[in-house]
Chains A and B, each alone.
Chain A
Amino acid sequence: MSELRGRRSDDPGEGNAPGDDTGRLGDVGSGENEGPGSDDGGTRDRPANRVDNQTLLKHGAADRESPRLLTAREKLEQYLDQIYWPGYSSWSSARQRNEPTDQQPRADVTPTAEKPAHARSEQNGALSSDAPELRAHTFHDDTTARPQRLNAPDDERESSSQPADPPAGVEPRDGDEAPETDWRDEPANAAPSRYHDVVGAKEHERTVDDASTDGSALLDKEDVATGTDSTPEPPAGTGDPAESGHEFVEDATTEEMDQYRRIREADDLDALAENSGMPREVIDEAKQHLFQRQHDVAIGPDDVRHGYFTPDAAYGDLWERVASGIDMTDENRVQFWSLLAHEYVEAKLMEAGVPYKSGDPDAWDEYGSAKVSPDHPSAHNTAPLSTQSEMKDLLRHWDSRLAIPRGGLRVEHDLSNLDEVVRVAKEGLGL
């Protein structure tokens, strides 16, 4: 399972002693055993002091046939082989190590993820062999023919110092128009740095700006005005970010991006619904929004980038842990509940034309952070609070921040009232 190697404190690990119960699958919170890594482009070395769990598989054939303990890695490999194709985990590990393997993707496999996507693209060209439902997901782009900025009310617009807004505020940054206090428009060479000297050819994985500024990663202003979108990005799993262009809003580690590609293709809705007890239709919408649709995402004033959401192992691990049903904790259940609530409502608000975050410079404070106020509504800031680790009121920011009347409305524990949450949110936003 080299795909998971070296992520931020979340490594399922290998080779542990029976009885150990640290470093569990998806346990991004611990990090105690994370080593320094080797800075090798996202496939960092496994920490020497890594300790991983090994627990009895409580259910299933292995348990009935043999008392042998399975490692977290083995359990995850079983799960991945099940949702992709038999031998996927071994094949993928070999690929990660650039080793030759005869366990190439096979044709006689499951309908939604017949082969790893990069194998498909190599053999058949981009998207040519994707399953219909995956093609729909892959090409789904919530920015197409959709208003990208929720206009402020007239009285608020009058109070703004900004001129009339462009359709989406998605043009590349222009230093001439930036406020004087905007540190981001300082020359890149303002501070001599080892980063610029050392990274050189290996280039930092997160650095996408150089390419972004040439416009290739951004919607052209005219595109948005006419309701069209940029050329869809290459399909899932094309591997090298340099080859795939701007697949994600911003790149993350190789492991995180591969994990998102894996989840994007996984046929996991039934398992997620069964293991979490949450409504399948909510999970479906949340998954499409979180993993399978591309979005326009403002990451700064007048800096809107396009792609799948920037991967984070915390989300990916939580998702795969719930899908596998292995070692789910009460904290995981609350996190998943709030994550689904957030993503579902956010998706519905964006569907109604609310931007993920506003790119309007007035929506950002002088230090470059998005403000949360009624003046610049955004789907992200209006949606229920996400990934909470304890049961809290997920809409409390409506009272103190957004001034959205809710009459005691709270997100139900079974997520049965999310459409009502969406309705009240829209009403509060004036939609």
Chain B
Amino acid sequence: MTDVAACERLLARLVAANWGDDEAEERHAASRRLLAQEYLRRMATWADALDVPNQWPFLDLAVVFDPSVETDPAWIERLEADSGHQLWMRSRQVVTDMFRWASLGDRPRGRFPEFDDPYEPMVQLFERGGDIWPGHGSIEFYAGSVPYRTISERLTQPPFPIDAATLNEVDEKERISLADSHARMAAKRAEQARRPADS
């Protein structure tokens, strides 16, 4: 039983995501890092509960939950056609299972009602700036490199809030910090430029 409505809702969100928007990537770098951290925690929770810790962090969670789940390539095709964006390889891997997970409907929640949606952080990460790519034991994206660490560490990580207000606040905090840093750098370079003349 495929939950087509849930897949359609996911498709609408991903079509509207800021794929390829360099400015959005820059503006949301800090919140995307937070979302990646929360993604790793939630995936650890599910991988642990489903007893597949060795497949973490990029596992086909929906297939583990229900090996008979259907993989319908039409969802990815529609996403790429409607968004005009060709998914990058790691993003494609994650999004493929996102649609499978959505197609399961409420069944995962029925079995693990206390668990958070495993893919919500990654959906928001895409919405706030687009693709991810692989790293050496890390999730990589623009101005972001989030180490996997270990699943046992992720299981001890407290949930991080990922509401819009918190995410925007994190981004604003980094914007101010970065502006200060750039100002210090500019002052330092100006000082260095003056030194030869002084000496």
Query: Are A387 and B134 interface neighbours, CB within 8 A?
Result: yes
The reply to whether the CB of B37 lies closer than 8 angstroms to some CB of chain A is yes
The answer on a CB contact under 8 Å between B22 and A396 is yes
Interface size on A, residues (CB 8 A): 83
A29 with B90: CB separation less than 8 A: yes
A397 touches B (CB below 8 Å): yes
B169 to chain A, nearest CB (A): 12
Contact of B51 among A31, A194, A335, A374 (CB under 8 A): A194
Chain B, residues 80-91, CB within 8 Å of chain A (1/0): the string is 000000111110
Compute how far the CA of A397 lies from the CA of B151 in the bound complex, rounded to whole angstroms.
Answer: 30
Query: Is A250 an interface residue when CB atoms closer than 8 A count as contact?
Result: yes
| B177 and A184 contact, CB distance less than 8 A | no
Cα-based distance from A370 to B143 in the complex (angstroms): 9
Q: A36-B52, A204-B54 are in contact. Are A183 and B71 (CB under 8 A)?
A: no
Cα-based distance from A367 to B177 in the complex (angstroms): 16
Q: Which of A32, A249, A371 contacts B174 (CB 8 A)?
A: A371
How near does chain A come to B90, taking the closest CB pair, in angstroms? 6
- The B91-139 residues at the A interface (CB cut-off 8 A) are 92-93, 96-97, 131, 133-138
Q: CA separation between A44 and B49, bound complex, in Å?
A: 18
Indicate if the CB atoms of A191 and B156 lie closer than 8 Å: yes
Min C-beta distance of B100 to chain A, whole Å: 9
A186-B156, A369-B36 as given contacts; A28 in contact with B90, CB under 8 Å: yes
Contacting pair A196 B160 (CB below 8 A): no
A249 touches B136 (CB 8 A): yes
**Complex interface residues of chain B between 1 and 52 (CB less than 8 A to chain A):** 20, 22, 26, 29-30, 33-34, 36-37, 44, 48-49, 51-52
The answer to whether A118 has its CB under 8 Å from any CB of chain B is no
| B181 & A387 in contact (Cβ 8 Å cutoff) | no
Interface size class of B (residues with CB under 8 A): 35 or more
A250 interface neighbour in B48, B137, B181, Cβ under 8 Å: B137
**Chain A 181-222 interface mask (CB, 8 Å, partner B; 1/0):** 001101110110111101100001111110000000000000
**Once the chains bind, are B92 and A34 in contact (CB under 8 Å)?**
no
- Given that A183-B158, A204-B54, A314-B90 are known contacts, is A36 also in contact with B60, CB under 8 Å in the complex? yes
Cross-chain contact A36 with B67 (CB below 8 angstroms): yes
User: Is B153 close to A, CB under 8 A?
Assistant: yes
Instruction: Establish whether residues B86 and A389, one from each chain, have CB atoms under 8 Å apart when the complex forms.
Output: yes
Task: List the one stretch of A67-75, A152-160, A237-245, A275-283 in contact with chain B.
Answer: A152-160
Does A312 touch B at the CB level, under 8 Å? yes
* A35/B54 contact (C-beta < 8 A), A191-B156, A252-B137, A396-B22 known: no
If the complex has contacts A31-B93, A299-B147, A387-B134, are A155 and B52 also in contact, measured as CB distance less than 8 A? no
Q: Which residues of chain A come closer than 8 Å to B96, judged between CB atoms?
A: 9, 30-32
**Residue with the greatest number of chain B CB neighbours at <10 A, chosen from A28, A36, A159, A253:** A36
CB distance from B173 to the nearest CB of A (A): 9
Within residues 334 to 372 of chain A, which ones have a CB less than 8 A from any CB in chain B? 335, 357, 365, 367-372
Q: Is the CB of B133 within 8 A of A372?
A: no
8 Å CB contact of A372 from B54, B144, B160, B182: B144
For the complex formed, measure the closest distance between the CB of B138 and the CB atoms of chain A, giving whole angstroms.
8
Q: Shortest beta-carbon distance, A4 to chain B, in Å?
A: 16
Cβ A44 vs Cβ B145 within 8 A? no
User: Quick check: is A300 within 8 A (CB to CB) of the other chain?
Assistant: yes
* 8 tightest Cβ-Cβ pairs between the two chains A and B: A310-B137, A29-B89, A369-B33, A314-B134, A389-B88, A29-B92, A309-B136, A32-B71
B interface residues, Cβ below 8 angstroms from A: 20, 22, 26, 29-30, 33-34, 36-37, 44, 48-49, 51-56, 58-60, 63-64, 67, 71, 73, 86-90, 92-93, 96-97, 131, 133-138, 140, 142-153, 155-158, 160, 174, 177-178, 181-182, 184-188
Can you show 6 pairs from A to B with CB atoms below 8 A apart? A198-B51, A206-B150, A209-B152, A367-B33, A371-B174, A372-B144
